[in-house]
Amino acid sequence: MPCRSVVLIPRTPSGSAQSRGYTLHTSPIVQRASMNIRFTNRLARPLLCGVAFMLAVTAYPVSAQVVSVKDPWVRSTVPRQKATAAYMEITAGRASRLLEVSSPVAGVAEIHEMRMEKDVMRMRAIAALELSAGQPVTLEPGGYHLMLMDLKVQIKDGDKVPITLVFELRNGSRETAQITAVARPPQPASSHGAGHGKSHSH
């Protein structure tokens, strides 16, 4: 913009009013430019707010998916059966552990493991299931599983059972995953769920 577009002109005395300083006079070019700037600012304000929001999201992103859960399923039950088990494959994106489990169909839900001790298969509840980054952990009959006890309803073949999993990362933060396990009939060779419905000891 030419420097002569803005001119500072000394004020002259007028009547009884005496003043000192300068009066700012702008040319039509400058006035139009000023209007364009104000108009541009009005348009730019929402854009800048949007950019600021995106930058905030980028700076503080929602944490990446902690785990992936594959093929979750739960054993269907018979009338008056009070416990069953849920199985799945869990792969952690970062080192973490499965800390809590719950389901609206069960009064109590726990993480369990079964292992052979002195030629006897024993089952016990564990405080947490450790998950190494990138290493799938299979919850299956005869191994790790989720016990759903004090069942509120019968779980029939094909029913979809909601289960909430809570994972804890190494830094102490927690992430929650909502999954749906499809009910399947128990295999004839195993009576894991039915056995837990009759008695439960460790």
Token pair, residue 197, equals 């419905």
Residue 103 near residue 125, CB atoms below 8 Å: no
Q: What is the pLDDT of residues 143-180, one digit of tens each?
A: 999 999 999 999 999 999 999 999 999 999 999 999 99
pLDDT at residue 188 in the model = 61
pLDDT at residue 66 in the model = 74
**Domain ranges across the chain:** 3-12+19-59, 67-198
Quick check: pTM over 0.75? no
Residue 97 CA to residue 170 CA, distance in Å, equals: 8
pLDDT band at 199 (very low <50, low <70, confident <90, very high): very low
Reported in sequence order, the residue ranges of the chain that DSSP labels E, i.e. its strands, are 6-10, 22-26, 67-75, 83-92, 96-102, 106-117, 120-126, 129-131, 137-139, 145-151, 160-169, 174-184
Q: Is the pLDDT of residue 86 over 80?
A: yes
Query: Is 67-198 a CATH 2.60.40.1890 domain?
Result: yes
Q: What is the pLDDT of residues 46-64, one digit of tens each?
A: 444 444 434 333 332 334 4
pLDDT band at 192 (very low <50, low <70, confident <90, very high): low
Instruction: Compare 186 and 129 and report the one with higher pLDDT.
Output: 129
57 by DSSP, 3-state: which?
A: helix
How confident is the model over 15-27, as a mean pLDDT? 44
Token pair, residue 113, equals 């493991």
pLDDT at residue 185 in the model = 92
How confident is the model over 74-92, as a mean pLDDT? 97
Whole-number average pLDDT of the chain: 75
